[in-house]
Structure 1
Amino acid sequence: MAEQSGAPGAVSLGRPSLGEAELAAVGEVFRSGWVAGAGPACHAFEEEFAAACGVGHAVAVANCTAALHLALLAHGVGPGDEVIVADYTFPATGHAVLFTGATPVFADVRADTATVDPDAVAAMVGPRTVGVIAVDAAGLPADYADLGELTARCGLFLVEDAACAAGATYRGRPAGSLAPVAAFSFHGRKGITCGEGGALVTDDAAVAAKARKLAAFGLESAWAREGRTDLPIPVFDEPGYNYKLSDLGAAIMRVQLARLPELLGRRRAVADRYAALLADVDGLVPPGEPGDRTGTWQSYAVTLAPGVDRGRVAAMLREQDIGCNFGTYASHLQPVYGVREACPVSADLFRRQLAIPMHAELSDADVERVAAALRKAVENSR
């Protein structure tokens, strides 16, 4: 399976775009002597990333799940509460709710964008509901105008799960500024990456301060105490977590953030070429973008017609060393949540979507090869 394979002739499903500039940045951190988390490289990255998102504060953390967990804790979520979560997403979104002792309640999604349906969210609001987590599906922002109006009217918080969305926009505004708090991922499959990592971003100084404290065991960071001539003795007044991003990761992210327009441009060119090559394939629907938003093309998932055998299509692609996978999860179907409610649109996408190679390292020849192989596989899998 060529998902991140470097095997000769393989076309991987995803591949990071890392090079000499990132290596040089790591070398600088080595020479500085500060390789732990929440140090000078992290501080610099946080300022740069907050500016890129159009917000006042960023807290660099170990992964997006940590950022989501911190966002919920900063809002005081706990046992007895319910948080409405977009259903069509990697289960880390729902897991973050479970970590607080609260209950995730899953809302169905739009068939065209795979983002949460505001009407479905409205139908799920109950007496125990405290907030909503919308997901930017595969880097495509959700309907934040409607979601913002709904949550404000109902007195709920709104969190943007922007795991895949660095560089996306909605009505001219950047991902990260679309809800009062947002969480990003810098995993190896994302558009910009340091292998593992994430960030919480917000304009709310109190939320940022709470998240920063809880991400460092409940203490002021060691870097903040650096250079003092007295002997400060930190005091633990509440339990926290070790959610910090290392300065090694932050140094890589500073380079990746500077390269974001280049990397997104290449992904968009790949998406445009796929759309042209697959437009007339009977048996699949390519993904698209509504006119009021731009995605990051974190992944490229086609929706197969009901009569097409997805497993056979996948097998035929993988036999040719072309990576592929299902789109993402219909979270309500996962037994960890014990959910009885139905999300039929999400469940249908879970059954029929197929992700094909999408990353900035794809050559034009790779794209042509994948499209031709997919066309043939669909034709032979009815």
Structure 2
Amino acid sequence: MTKQVALGQPTVGQRELDAIRSVFDSGWLSGAGPTCVQFEKNFASVAGVDNVLATSNCGSALHLALLALGAGPGDDVLVADYTFPATGHTVMWTGARPVFVDVRPDIWSIDTTLLSDAVTERTVGVIAVDPFGQPADYDELVEFCRARGLWLIEDAACATGASYRGRKVGEIADLTAYSFHGRKGITSGEGGALASPNDELIAHARKLHTYGISPAIARDASRELPVPSFDELGYNYRLSDVQAAIMLVQLERLPQLLAARRSVATGYAERLGDLDLVTLPTALPDRDHSWQSYVIAVDESLDRGAVATSLRQRGVGCNFGTYASHLQPLYGEQKSLPVSADLFARHIAIPMHANMTEDDIDYVADTVRSVLTDTDNRR
């Protein structure tokens, strides 16, 4: 029977089940309750800031960030192109226009040398993305934005626990959005968070994430009967207390989960580093990579689809990396961005999760080596 190694796998167990039981026993299961409040307090140590808001997912966190910063119709927002299109979608949700910018060929984050040429008279801000868990070039991004009066959002969907030049993801940009989707480093199946050094921005986002009023827990201890008034359009972007309970346990696991993922990345580098037909991911020494995914670029002489099919037939889970957003029809006509387009065409994500054993790493590496050298997978 062929060995099976999943592309991604959460690390959950009895501790998470016990945490869910405690929420059931409390009687408060809905969103933005006491367990969410506790999660926000605990997550602050990961984000490096006191102002944290738990959200339903990363897309809602990004949307709230854009709304809190005032993005809307008539505005342009510069967006890193190599990313899941949720990043560009959230800009469109506000009525603003995403203007995609090409990425660095080595670490795949927004190429700061191209930002000036992308600015228009309507540009109001930048959304940088941390591809697969490695932070973008934030010193350059902050300098660029400050010099032009632009705001900066960090899409850290893959980068919980990562850091940049000694600073935690969450304390650099005006607002930072996180994801707790099932393939992320810590997960409650779905979920997200928004963090900021600016308490006013989070306070505004908190109002918007509960239909435009303060969450019910803010009124729970009142001896009177406060009746909120709706004066701003809001949304239901709350994380449930059931999910927050899971996240509290996941936060406790985070150091071990990050260490395990980094060990897998090291194992791949040692086993695949001599292959000429593949380019391995670059991890820069001045930032801590959280390794949400491990993505390799296959040589142009290889048929990526055939390689992926062969890997799956041998039990190795895989997928493409992520999207060159500017190629998606939804966004209309966009400037050609060759680096992102090339990555989109050649990237393959191979198994990466904290449950992988040395045998798993060996099997994946041996299978990748075999598949890449199989002449049947040539173009």
Band of TM-score, shorter chain: over 0.9
Match in the other structure for 1:284? 278
Match in the other structure for 1:352? 346
* Aligned pairs (5 A) from 1:173-192: 173-192=167-186
* Aligned pairs (5 A) from 1:71-82: 71-82=65-76
CA distance in 2, matches of 1:327, 1:178: 26
CA distance in 1, matches of 2:127, 2:170: 13
AA of the residue aligned to 1:260: L
CA distance in 1, matches of 2:224, 2:272: 66
- SS of the aligned residue for 2:131 comes to coil
Deviations 1:275-316 (A, max 9, x none): 000011120011121111111110000111111111111111
Match in the other structure for 1:338? 332
CA distance in 1, matches of 2:109, 2:334: 21
CA distance in 1, matches of 2:371, 2:114: 35
- SS of the aligned residue for 1:259 comes to helix
**1:107 lines up with 2:88 in the alignment:** no
Equivalent pairs counted in the alignment come to 376
Match in the other structure for 2:83? 89
Aligned residues of 2:277 and 2:372 also touching (Cα < 8 A): yes
- SS of the aligned residue for 2:188 comes to coil
**1:126 lines up with 2:124 in the alignment:** no
Match in the other structure for 1:318? 312
Aligned residues of 2:2 and 2:315 also touching (Cα < 8 A): no
* Aligned pairs (5 A) from 1:101-250: 101-250=95-244
CA distance in 2, matches of 1:340, 1:178: 29
**1:379 lines up with 2:360 in the alignment:** no
AA of the residue aligned to 1:194: S
Match in the other structure for 1:366? 360
**1:46 lines up with 2:8 in the alignment:** no
Deviations 1:136-159 (A, max 9, x none): 000100000000000000110000
CA distance in 2, matches of 1:339, 1:198: 31
- SS of the aligned residue for 1:314 comes to helix
Gaps of 5+ in 1: 1-6
AA of the residue aligned to 1:141: P
- SS of the aligned residue for 2:203 comes to helix
CA distance in 1, matches of 2:43, 2:153: 18
- SS of the aligned residue for 1:264 comes to helix
CA distance in 2, matches of 1:365, 1:339: 47
CA distance in 2, matches of 1:69, 1:367: 38
Tell me the CA shift for residue 201 of structure 1: 0.2
AA of the residue aligned to 2:146: A
- SS of the aligned residue for 1:138 comes to helix
CA distance in 2, matches of 1:9, 1:26: 33
Aligned residues of 2:186 and 2:251 also touching (Cα < 8 A): yes
CA distance in 1, matches of 2:348, 2:259: 23
Tell me the CA shift for residue 8 of structure 1: 8.5
- SS of the aligned residue for 1:134 comes to strand
CA distance in 2, matches of 1:101, 1:74: 14
Tell me the CA shift for residue 238 of structure 1: 1.0
TM-score where L is the length of structure 2: 0.98
AA of the residue aligned to 2:167: R
AA of the residue aligned to 1:299: S
- What CA RMSD, in Å, does the superposition of the two structures yield over aligned residues? 1.0
CA distance in 2, matches of 1:95, 1:286: 29
CA distance in 2, matches of 1:323, 1:117: 30
Identity %: 55
AA of the residue aligned to 2:363: R
CA distance in 1, matches of 2:290, 2:225: 47
CA distance in 1, matches of 2:348, 2:333: 25
AA of the residue aligned to 1:68: L
- SS of the aligned residue for 1:131 comes to strand
Tell me the CA shift for residue 320 of structure 1: 1.1
Gaps of 5+ in 2: none
- SS of the aligned residue for 2:326 comes to helix
Tell me the CA shift for residue 214 of structure 1: 0.3
CA distance in 2, matches of 1:81, 1:138: 28
CA distance in 2, matches of 1:124, 1:346: 15
AA of the residue aligned to 2:239: L
- SS of the aligned residue for 2:134 comes to coil
